[in-house]
Amino acid sequence: MRILHTMLRVGNLERSLDFYCRVMGMSLLRRSDFPGGRFTLAFVGYGPESETAVLELTHNWDTEAYQVGDAFGHVAIGVEDIYGLCKEIQEKGGNVSRPPGPMKHGGSVIAFVVDPDGYKVELIQRA
């Protein structure tokens, strides 16, 4: 067994695709419109769905915004150069809400980015 994807509801699909693809460097893997249900699914990630977990961005056509809620934490991404990536993200207009640095109660170097819908993305420096 393996995790296939995590679904996030987004208010503006094009804005979210721009963030995840242009700012975060993911690729759009597939996109499907469902006119009968008035929604679109877009799958993005760093590799093929057959090999890695991806994000499913769900856009319900009649909903412009969602409350993130207090149960959701974050999506985590392992990165090679957290300092360089955070600089690139900021240069592309992304919101680095917690600059890279050591965890308060641990040794990992982390940073947080916030997507256009308010979802947190944790970046973790890989050893």
The 8-class DSSP code of residue 74 comes to -
Q: Which of the residues 56, 64, 91, 122 is marked catalytic?
A: 122
122 noted as active-site residue: yes
Instruction: Kindly tell me the sign of the dihedral angle through the C-alpha atoms of 65, 36, 16, 5.
Output: positive
DSSP H stretches of helix in 2-109? 13-17, 82-91
Nearest to 93 by CA among 23, 28, 43: 23
Rounded CA separation 127/118 (Å): 28
CA distance 74 to 98: 13
- Give the dihedral sign, CA 76/62/32/2: positive
Catalytic positions are 122
